[in-house]
Amino acid sequence: MITITQTNSLQEEDKKTIIDGLVKYNETFTGHYEVSYIKLILKEKEVIVGGLYGVFIWDCLFVDDYWVDDAYRNQGLGKYLINQAEKITLEHQIDYITFDAFDEKLKDYFIDRGYQVYGYLNNRPMGHQYYLLDKRLSDDSIETIDCPKNIILNKNPNKGETAQFQEKLKQTKEALIGQHSVEKVYVTARNENEEIIGGLIGNIEYDCLYIGTLWVHDDYRKNNLGKKLMTKAEKHALEKGIKQIYLGTTDFQARPFYEKLGYKVFAVSEDLPKGFNDYCMNKVL
């Protein structure tokens, strides 16, 4: 007998089983990829005035967090941060970088720096558009930008500096789009021995459910487990008043499966990872 359960917490060992299962499947197509991180902090004396955090995976730098203090705008700090991130990306022999933006002004700022919008979601959060931007890099496209006067770049921030940066970024986002809590969403499938044979990991934030991981053990692929896991997650989203779900998938993963469930492609990253395309998909419930 297979049991499917939705929870808001999960043992680390069970999370690892789900994530490792998906990674193992992915690597049969992509080979092994090391994951590394970029953490840039700008300080004036001891005050954090800007920062950029991201992750290198699948031939791309995904920038998760980018922020410059309002009091230091129009002084070149943002351009300098982006310039440093682009240089470091090329040093990793990667030529692709992505940002996201809730703010029209920030979106336009990235466009001025050579980025393009390759997709967007309406109502993430409600009343706002969520933009995805990308850029292909080359050595001759990287200009030399000096660090602004009296500003220090720290490429290895400590936990305290990271916490300060994250708090300031949070305050800026809340001023723009209001307060939004985060709820973890886990859906697991277990066999009669209570072993994990499939799972879904996501989070509810900004009036959407984002599904980051969906995995089913090879031995159970023909039991509609994937559909059952997704249906359970969708039901939970509706119970929470969430009407939109989005996720990512690739050529070698599950685009046709998601399309059968009513998901539609709203953004495409070509050649990510190398030789494949990556698709962002959403569904309005």
Instruction: Answer yes or no: do 185 and 126 share one domain.
Output: no
Distant-in-sequence contacts of 75-81, Cβ < 8 A, 24+ apart: 75/148, 76/145, 76/148, 77/42, 77/49, 77/50, 77/148, 77/151, 78/50, 78/109, 79/113, 79/145, 80/42, 80/145, 80/146, 80/147, 80/148, 80/151, 80/153, 81/40, 81/42, 81/50, 81/51, 81/52
Instruction: Answer yes or no: do 41 and 172 share one domain.
Output: yes
Q: Using CA atoms, how far apart are residues 270 and 49, in angstroms rounded to an integer? A: 34
Give the pLDDT confidence of 4-21 residue by residue, as tens digits: 999 999 999 999 999 999
Percent of the chain residues topping a pLDDT of 70: 100
**Nearest CA-CA partner of 65 in 56, 57, 75, 55:** 55
Instruction: Answer yes or no: do 167 and 236 share one domain.
Output: no
Q: Using CA atoms, how far apart are residues 62 and 261, in angstroms rounded to an integer? A: 27
Give the pLDDT confidence of 125-163 residue by residue, as tens digits: 999 999 999 999 998 878 888 888 889 999 999 999 999
- Kindly tell me if the per-residue pLDDT of 73 is higher than 90: no
* pLDDT for res 195: 95
Query: What mean pLDDT do residues 93-119 have?
Result: 95
Instruction: Answer yes or no: do 41 and 127 share one domain.
Output: yes
Q: How far is CA 157 from the centre of its chain?
A: 21
- Kindly tell me if the per-residue pLDDT of 221 is higher than 90: no
Last residue of a domain, one of 125, 148, 177: 177
Instruction: Answer yes or no: do 262 and 208 share one domain.
Output: yes
* pLDDT for res 145: 86
Q: Using CA atoms, how far apart are residues 240 and 254, in angstroms rounded to an integer? A: 26
Distant-in-sequence contacts of 200-203, Cβ < 8 A, 24+ apart: 200/18, 200/229, 200/230, 200/232, 200/233, 201/10, 201/15, 201/18, 201/19, 202/233, 202/247
* pLDDT for res 146: 86
Last residue of a domain, one of 149, 177, 205: 177
- Kindly tell me if the per-residue pLDDT of 120 is higher than 90: yes
Contact indicator for 49, 42 with CB cutoff of 8 Å: yes
Query: What mean pLDDT do residues 59-79 have?
Result: 92
Q: Using CA atoms, how far apart are residues 242 and 238, in angstroms rounded to an integer? A: 5
List the domain range (segments joined by +) for residue 76.
Answer: 36-177
What is the band of 164 on the pLDDT scale with cuts at 50, 70, 90?
very high
What CATH code is carried by the domain that includes residue 56?
3.40.630.30
Query: What mean pLDDT do residues 238-255 have?
Result: 97
Q: Which residues pair with 283 in a beta bridge?
A: 245
Last residue of a domain, one of 177, 196, 219: 177
Query: What mean pLDDT do residues 193-221 have?
Result: 96
- Kindly tell me if the per-residue pLDDT of 263 is higher than 90: yes
Give the pLDDT confidence of 226-243 residue by residue, as tens digits: 999 999 999 999 999 999
* pLDDT for res 147: 85
Instruction: Answer yes or no: do 132 and 44 share one domain.
Output: yes
Instruction: Answer yes or no: do 163 and 40 share one domain.
Output: yes
pTM of the model: 0.91
Instruction: Answer yes or no: do 219 and 246 share one domain.
Output: yes
Instruction: Answer yes or no: do 126 and 67 share one domain.
Output: yes
- Kindly tell me if the per-residue pLDDT of 86 is higher than 90: yes
- Kindly tell me if the per-residue pLDDT of 46 is higher than 90: no
Contact indicator for 21, 189 with CB cutoff of 8 Å: no
Query: What mean pLDDT do residues 212-220 have?
Result: 96
Instruction: Answer yes or no: do 163 and 234 share one domain.
Output: no
Instruction: Answer yes or no: do 16 and 52 share one domain.
Output: no
Contact indicator for 226, 216 with CB cutoff of 8 Å: yes
Total domains present in the chain: 2
Q: Using CA atoms, how far apart are residues 116 and 216, in angstroms rounded to an integer? A: 35
Instruction: Answer yes or no: do 145 and 193 share one domain.
Output: no
* pLDDT for res 15: 97
* pLDDT for res 283: 98
